[in-house]
Amino acid sequence: MLTMMLIVMISLLVLGFPMMITMLAGTILAVVVYMPNVEPFIIAQQMMLGVQGFVLLSVPMFMFAADIMVAGKTANRLLDFVESFVGHIWGGLAITTAATCTLFGSISGSTQATVVAIGRPMRDKLLKRGYDDSSVMALIINSSDLAYLIPPSIGMIMYGVISGTSIGDLFIAGIIPGLLVLLFFSLYSIYYARKKQIPLLPKASWKERYQATRKSLLTFGFPVIIIGGIYSGFFSPTEAAAFSVLYAFIIEVCIFKSVKLKDLSKIAISTGIVTTVVFVLVGTGTAFAWVISYARIPQVITSTVLGTDPSVLKVLLTVNIAFFLGCMLVDPLVVIIILTPIFFPAAIAAGIDPVHLGIIITLQVAIGSATPPFGYDIFTACAIFDKPYLTVIRKTPFYILMLLFAALIITLVPGVSLFLTELL
């Protein structure tokens, strides 16, 4: 049954079917052909249940807040802020890009929004400085992964919902790993700029720095609302998401007036489409996960891959590889929905902290979303910058190596993820 499903799904995927149809076809095939005692309407039931959780409401809310900020000029204000501080050192502009992606990640939970918000203004600047297009693309796509690790993160929300792990803890735990990746990228940017002799920018004066800081100051209210609000128990994650919408509205519409009230409905429609696209996949992923668990496939997979009583290292390594490979083929959220129930019980049995596991999974799906062939960010970049697929991916391998190295550290040293949660 599994072989048949895989053959059908992979061939549909390659032909360019929408991913939801690929998953639905596999699910329907399994239910109609191989499970005669199951009512087919279970698929509809599972799809509906998949999108019912209250916590899931935080996803469209975080996206809406980020979309309002993208339509306004928040990203540019953040860029000016970072640039005024690090712009003058070697690789300053590249570091600015990576660091701003990190900051923007604290508003937006998705990598695509970050590609749009930071990639657009930075690409022209970087090209003018003498970076070539492929390395600019690689930098932008991979830096956007940081948005997935820095709270809020849609991947973490999904993992938290499925595994029952505290989303607040996951959010906190993602901060240090995110900064670690940023450090790697910055070091590489310095090395690259020195090697290529990219000209330096003039150093900003303290007056300019003050002004840039003042303009971007309000943006830093987001992490306060989201992390502070959730951690102090004032908000649930969903409410924190709704309040970041309110906050974005106040900043962009009332204070900076960079978004008009009537633009808001257009932004909402755009968020609505993305919500449809994402949640239809969440629904189909849930139905698919139900089918394979009904057929007891997870048990077969874990017992053949992991054997009985596996070591912690073996489980972690398997999780890393499985999520990385999965993301090369399908959307990161779908991978989380399908693979988490398969590996979570084995990981907990081996004594792995659920928060640590969540961070590893989030990092791997973030890497996957920038890795060919499927990596969704690559397609986003192709579409936004109107560049062929191959130009976009040419320089990504080195970044992927750096990210995998970071994944190795984060996997082997649980403290990197758990330090802050234990502290608080």
Residues in 142-181 that interact with other proteins by CB under 8 A: none
The single-letter code of the amino acid at 2 is: L
For the residues of 154-177, what is the DSSP string, one character each? HHHHHHHHHHT--HHHHHHHTHHH
Nearer to other proteins, 40 or 307 (CB): 40
Phi and psi at residue 241, to the nearest 5°: -65, -45
Please select the residue that binds other proteins; options are 280, 289, 327, 359, rule is CB under 8 A: 280
Residue 104 engages other proteins in binding (rule: CB under 8 A): no
Residue 79 engages other proteins in binding (rule: CB under 8 A): no
The single-letter code of the amino acid at 279 is: F
- SS3 state at 243: helix
Instruction: Give the range of 121-129, 279-287, 297-305, 339-347 binding other proteins by CB under 8 A.
Output: 279-287
Residues 12-41 within binding reach of other proteins (CB under 8 A):
12-21, 24-25, 28, 39-41
Count Cβ neighbours within 10 Å for each residue of 67-89 and write b for 16 or more, e otherwise.
bbbbbbbbbbbbbbbbbbbbbeb
Please select the residue that binds other proteins; options are 256, 325, 341, 348, rule is CB under 8 A: 256
Please select the residue that binds other proteins; options are 66, 170, 241, 360, rule is CB under 8 A: 241
Instruction: Give the range of 6-14, 129-137, 204-212, 410-418 binding other proteins by CB under 8 A.
Output: 6-14
CA–CA distance, 347 with 314 (Å, rounded to integer): 10
Which residues, 6+ apart, have CB-to-CB distance to 219 below 8 Å?
Answer: 69, 74, 77, 78, 103, 107, 251
Please select the residue that binds other proteins; options are 5, 9, 30, 61, rule is CB under 8 A: 61
Q: Give me the least distance between CB of 43 and other proteins, in Å please.
A: 6
Nearer to other proteins, 70 or 103 (CB): 70
Please select the residue that binds other proteins; options are 5, 9, 30, 43, rule is CB under 8 A: 43
Residue 370 engages other proteins in binding (rule: CB under 8 A): no
Please select the residue that binds other proteins; options are 374, 395, 396, 418, rule is CB under 8 A: 374
Nearer to other proteins, 150 or 274 (CB): 274
Nearer to other proteins, 26 or 105 (CB): 26
Residue 45 engages other proteins in binding (rule: CB under 8 A): yes
Helix axes 237-249, 58-71, angle to 10 degrees: 20
Residues 388-407 within binding reach of other proteins (CB under 8 A):
389
Q: The tokens 């969903």 sit on which residue?
A: 238
CA–CA distance, 183 with 187 (Å, rounded to integer): 6
Q: Give me the least distance between CB of 110 and other proteins, in Å please.
A: 13
Please select the residue that binds other proteins; options are 56, 292, 346, 410, rule is CB under 8 A: 56
Tell me: cis bond preceding 60? Omega within 30 of 0 counts.
no
Please select the residue that binds other proteins; options are 3, 197, 265, 308, rule is CB under 8 A: 265
- SS3 state at 106: coil
Size of the site for other proteins (CB under 8 A): 79
- SS3 state at 206: helix
Asked if 237 contacts 230 with a C-beta cutoff of 8 angstroms, the reply is yes
Site string for other proteins, 198-237 (x = CB under 8 A): -------------------------------------x--
Nearer to other proteins, 136 or 173 (CB): 136
Total count of residues recorded for the chain: 424
Residue 133 engages other proteins in binding (rule: CB under 8 A): no
> How many of the other CB atoms lie within 10 Å of CB of 120?
15
Count Cβ neighbours within 10 Å for each residue of 144-154 and write b for 16 or more, e otherwise.
bbbbbbbbbbb
Please select the residue that binds other proteins; options are 51, 89, 348, 420, rule is CB under 8 A: 51
Nearer to other proteins, 56 or 315 (CB): 56
